[in-house]
Chains A and B, each alone.
Chain A
Amino acid sequence: MEFFKYTRTFNFMGKSKLGMIISIVLVLASFALLATKGLNYGVDFAGGTIVQVKYDSPAPIDAMRAKLKENEIFKGSSITEFGSPEEVVIRMKSTSGNVTVDVGDITREALVGTGKFEIRRVDIVGPKVGSELKEKGIMSLILAVIGILIYVAFRFEWRFAVASIIALVHDVSIALGAITLVGLDVNLDVLAALLTILGYSLNDTIIVFDRIREGVTNDRSSKLSDIIDESITRTLARTTLTSLTTFFVVFTLFMFGGEIIHAFAFTLLVGIVVGTYSSIFVASPILLEFGFDVKKYHVKLAARAKREADKQRMRDQFESGTM
């Protein structure tokens, strides 16, 4: 089976304007969402308490609300269904420093009389730990980007590095926009998904860039846009295939992985789609826009080859004692 015929080369760069427009619209829409609706930080980053309760019949949410109203500590708490009607999650801003009696225990006490239930999970994140996790999270994103930037600049050329970073920012922005749109809680798992998107999206971009590098090195006559089209087309089957298999598994994770893994899987799903798109329609056109010059690249390559040849000659002379 083959997705694409070997003999045909697609004219991607001809459509790059359209791709740019779609990207800009999506990124701007994401920024707008982030600015107006804002990210919904979960307990990991904002601090607070989560109590997951499972009843043996559909959860009596109204009765629970009434009970929780009786205690000041639950002010501003919310109860939402979690995966099934029997299971709910109570989110609250308050935390407690007491080791023996914490918010979870108080919740258990408060819910007595609402039916037969089991407390399945209690997450308490104090404000100090929350802000530390946030700080660390942001640091990790920045560090990952810097690390990748250095690696790509070293292995390719600075324009490749900048183009791939722009593609990454594009992907993460749109993923964040999608998270904001559906109102998911941003917790540590979402951060992990974002970092995975960084790696994954770059994976795609690099495969294309590798072809471009190869094309540029072997082919002196063609225009850069033709080389890019050729490179994208030759890697298209691979890009589609890997994206599909990854999409399959993340989709099964999203469908069957359980409620706890939901936000993580959703973020990855968006990231896979956007990451695949961006390696074709964002990273490569930017390379073109930056005016990567095939001729200059060859001059540079030749200069490097000459330098090395000189070095080698000197070394040879030195070793044979003629110097």
Chain B
Amino acid sequence: MKLNYRIVIFALAIIFGVFFSAPSLLQTESGKKITLGLDLQGGLHMLLGVKTEEAVKSRIKSIAASIKYFGERNDILIDSLNFDENAISFILLDSDDTSVIKEFLAEIDGAIIVVDAENISLKLSDEEVIKTEKEAISQAIETIRNRLDQFGLTEPVVARQGEEKILVQLAGIKTQEEEQRARELISRAAKLELMAVDEDRAGRVYTMSDADAAEYGDVILPDAKDPRIKHIVHEIPILDGSMLTDASMGFDQNNRPLINFKLNAEGAEIFGDFTGKNVGNHLAVVLDGKVYSAPVINERIGGGSGQISGDYTVMEAKDLSIALRSGSLLAPIYLMEKRSVGPSLGADSIKASMVALIGGFILVIVFMVIYYRVAGIIANIALVTNLFIILAVMSLFGATLTLPGMAGIVLTVGMAVDANVIISERIRELLYKGVSIHKAIEDGYANAMRAILDANITTLIAAVVLYAYGTGAIKGFAITISIGILASMLTAILGTHGIYQVLEKKITKSKNNRLWFGIKGSV
């Protein structure tokens, strides 16, 4: 037996295939493995959109809050402070303060300020609006990622898709409850606001409409424990969750879970100032538009820490503190696409496609041997090698195997024999013409080469387009079929050619074309 470079490469390909596919096939501890797609292992896939206009609105609101605080701190009298989606307006009572306030406003990024005597208005420039919207998306991605990292699933995927979509993929969600929890955690605004109760109107809250409240610059918010209880608070908050540095779960004296939070230096100062000036009044702790508590301020609170008590379970308190800690969403998110597959369905899909794969595989293998005899066996060796190479390459790249990907592998089993069929047919034809075994093999491969290349490259073009334009699970199909095509060219053009070269002398000696190529004796 003489070795040739083809058989050496083929042997290396087999070793490569077996070695690198082993971790996936045997599910070993170490080594790179193929990940199963969400459709096979069960999981949640979501495309989320961001309501960016809300981010602009909340930016305006927080600017309004800072103007109010600035005025109070510097004894500047400000009246009729109002804001809508994109603009703030107020009246300066003392025109001497104009230059001070102008200086303060000038420091706000992207604000266009118009001063008309005592009437001052401020709006965000178009660029600033776009910037704010973009930031809202990036911030949402960052926040959701932070939250999911702490949720305890393995490798959650949070990524931007296109300009304004967020892709969230959670593998290994086992139960409906877990999915529900994850979705609540992701979508929770977790917007903490500390707001001043409007003491003058608190007694009339049940007789007032939202419009009435708005006239006084107030809003009416429901209580978290009992939505029938209403609170009236000043719409512009004292401070919001952006000044929060930490949040964690704790317990009160009755051992009920609550959330402790800490403010940064700026927040602590604002909080201290406010509580110092408002002893005896109520402070509302508002989370996502619901009042969790509204205790009386007994004294100035320094140090900048506080508590949110509510009627929650330990699990809820834990998730809530994760949400607060990872920051609030600047803008609400909404669902654009969702695909959720239960683990039992995934397992069924794996089983079904394995049956199809094994069934198809046996059919093809048996058929090839009946039709081509030894040439069929050689083609089958290439086919098996092919499967190993597909799995090995996918393992190495950590590619995801999806249900359409499984279908792609099944299809490859049918199509991968093609190259060897083309070659074998060419060899048979040459043998009929009465050429020597050596010439039949060499010319057979040479003649078949062009057809194999052209035919496979066109299929590859279709697969590449499918990969570029396909989404989710379909990409998996494009991947397996592409690797399958490339591997089949390698195993057929190099691999089986090498085997024939090794066996050539034997074939020539035996003169039994029926055994070797499945055709009637030598012609």
User: In the assembled complex, which residues on chain A have CB atoms less than 8 Å from the CB atom of B361?
Assistant: 249
Q: Which of B82-90, B256-264, B437-445, B461-469 contacts A (4 or more CB under 8 A)?
A: B461-469
* Measured CA separation A6–B128 after assembly (Å): 77
Are A238 and B481 touching (Cβ within 8 A)?
A: no
User: In the assembled complex, which residues on chain A have CB atoms less than 8 Å from the CB atom of B39?
Assistant: 260
Q: Is A1 an interface residue (CB 8 A)?
A: yes
User: Given A99-B334, A119-B342, A252-B359, A246 and B470 touching (CB < 8 A)?
Assistant: no
Q: Is the interface of B mostly helix, strand, loop or mixed?
A: helix
Are A148 and B418 touching (Cβ within 8 A)?
A: no
Q: Is B458 an interface residue (CB 8 A)?
A: yes
User: In the assembled complex, which residues on chain A have CB atoms less than 8 Å from the CB atom of B451?
Assistant: 206-207, 210-211
Nearest B residue (CB) for A234: B429
Interface residues of A in 39-85 (CB under 8 A from B): 52, 54
Interface residues of A in 1-53 (CB under 8 A from B): 1-2, 6, 52
Are A200 and B459 touching (Cβ within 8 A)?
A: yes
Q: Which of B3-11, B131-139, B179-187, B226-234 contacts A (4 or more CB under 8 A)?
A: B179-187
Q: Is A225 an interface residue (CB 8 A)?
A: no
Nearest A residue (CB) for B450: A210
User: In the assembled complex, which residues on chain A have CB atoms less than 8 Å from the CB atom of B187?
Assistant: 99-100
Q: Is B515 an interface residue (CB 8 A)?
A: no
User: In the assembled complex, which residues on chain A have CB atoms less than 8 Å from the CB atom of B463?
Assistant: 195, 199
* Measured CA separation A238–B176 after assembly (Å): 51
Are A210 and B410 touching (Cβ within 8 A)?
A: no
Interface residues of B in 442-493 (CB under 8 A from A): 447, 450-451, 454-466, 468-474, 477-478, 481
Contact flags (1/0) for B164-195 with A, using CB distance below 8 Å? 00000000000010001001101100000000
Q: Is A102 an interface residue (CB 8 A)?
A: yes
Q: Is A320 an interface residue (CB 8 A)?
A: no
* Measured CA separation A1–B372 after assembly (Å): 7
**From residue A194, how far is it (CB to closest CB) to chain B in Å?**
10
Nearest B residue (CB) for A126: B336
Are B466 and A248 touching (Cβ within 8 A)?
A: no
User: In the assembled complex, which residues on chain A have CB atoms less than 8 Å from the CB atom of B370?
Assistant: 1
User: In the assembled complex, which residues on chain A have CB atoms less than 8 Å from the CB atom of B336?
Assistant: 97, 126, 128-129
Q: Is A155 an interface residue (CB 8 A)?
A: yes
Q: Which of B71-79, B93-101, B277-285, B347-355 contacts A (4 or more CB under 8 A)?
A: B347-355
Are B337 and A126 touching (Cβ within 8 A)?
A: yes
* Measured CA separation A1–B519 after assembly (Å): 6
Q: Is A122 an interface residue (CB 8 A)?
A: yes
Are A242 and B418 touching (Cβ within 8 A)?
A: yes
* Measured CA separation A202–B352 after assembly (Å): 29
Contact flags (1/0) for B327-348 with A, using CB distance below 8 Å? 0000001111111111011001
Are B411 and A147 touching (Cβ within 8 A)?
A: no
User: Given A104-B340, A122-B340, A203-B456, A249 and B363 touching (CB < 8 A)?
Assistant: yes
* Measured CA separation A129–B340 after assembly (Å): 16
Nearest A residue (CB) for B461: A147
User: Given A104-B338, A121-B345, A257-B352, A248 and B458 touching (CB < 8 A)?
Assistant: no
Are B465 and A144 touching (Cβ within 8 A)?
A: yes
Q: Is B124 an interface residue (CB 8 A)?
A: no
Are A102 and B335 touching (Cβ within 8 A)?
A: yes
Q: Is A98 an interface residue (CB 8 A)?
A: yes
Contact flags (1/0) for A146-176 with B, using CB distance below 8 Å? 0110011001000000000000000000000
Q: How big is the A interface, by class?
A: 35 or more
Are A206 and B458 touching (Cβ within 8 A)?
A: yes
Are B465 and A143 touching (Cβ within 8 A)?
A: yes
Q: Is A196 an interface residue (CB 8 A)?
A: yes
User: In the assembled complex, which residues on chain B have CB atoms less than 8 Å from the CB atom of A111?
Assistant: none
Nearest A residue (CB) for B363: A248
Are A261 and B469 touching (Cβ within 8 A)?
A: no
**From residue B69, how far is it (CB to closest CB) to chain A in Å?**
33
User: In the assembled complex, which residues on chain A have CB atoms less than 8 Å from the CB atom of B478?
Assistant: 192
Q: Is A264 an interface residue (CB 8 A)?
A: yes
Are A100 and B183 touching (Cβ within 8 A)?
A: yes
**From residue A255, how far is it (CB to closest CB) to chain B in Å?**
8
Nearest A residue (CB) for B355: A256
Are A206 and B454 touching (Cβ within 8 A)?
A: yes
User: In the assembled complex, which residues on chain B have CB atoms less than 8 Å from the CB atom of A244?
Assistant: 367
Q: Is A245 an interface residue (CB 8 A)?
A: yes
Are A196 and B456 touching (Cβ within 8 A)?
A: no
* Measured CA separation A211–B452 after assembly (Å): 12
Q: Is B432 an interface residue (CB 8 A)?
A: yes
Q: Is B112 an interface residue (CB 8 A)?
A: no
User: In the assembled complex, which residues on chain B have CB atoms less than 8 Å from the CB atom of A251?
Assistant: 360
User: In the assembled complex, which residues on chain A have CB atoms less than 8 Å from the CB atom of B418?
Assistant: 203, 238, 242, 245
User: In the assembled complex, which residues on chain B have CB atoms less than 8 Å from the CB atom of A192?
Assistant: 404, 466, 470, 474, 477-478
* Measured CA separation A268–B336 after assembly (Å): 30
Are B454 and A258 touching (Cβ within 8 A)?
A: no
* Measured CA separation A255–B468 after assembly (Å): 30
Are A119 and B454 touching (Cβ within 8 A)?
A: no
**From residue A260, how far is it (CB to closest CB) to chain B in Å?**
6
**From residue B46, how far is it (CB to closest CB) to chain A in Å?**
8
User: In the assembled complex, which residues on chain B have CB atoms less than 8 Å from the CB atom of A54?
Assistant: 344
Are A252 and B403 touching (Cβ within 8 A)?
A: no
Question: Which among B48, B348, B472 is the interface contact of A258 at CB below 8 angstroms?
Answer: B348
Give A residues with C-beta under 8 Å from B. 1-2, 6, 52, 54, 95-100, 102, 104-105, 108, 118-126, 128-129, 133, 136-137, 139-140, 143-144, 147-148, 151-152, 155, 188-189, 191-192, 195-196, 198-200, 202-204, 206-207, 210-211, 214, 234-235, 237-238, 241-242, 244-253, 255-258, 260-261, 264-265, 268
Given A1-B372, A249-B411, A261-B352, 4 more pairs with CB closer than 8 A: A199-B458, A257-B353, A260-B349, A268-B411
The list of the 4 closest CB pairs from A to B, nearest first, reads: A249-B360, A258-B352, A199-B459, A246-B414
Q: List 20 A-B contacts (CB under 8 A).
A: A98-B335, A100-B187, A118-B344, A120-B341, A123-B338, A126-B335, A140-B469, A140-B470, A188-B472, A244-B367, A247-B414, A248-B360, A249-B360, A249-B410, A256-B352, A256-B355, A257-B352, A258-B352, A264-B407, A265-B407
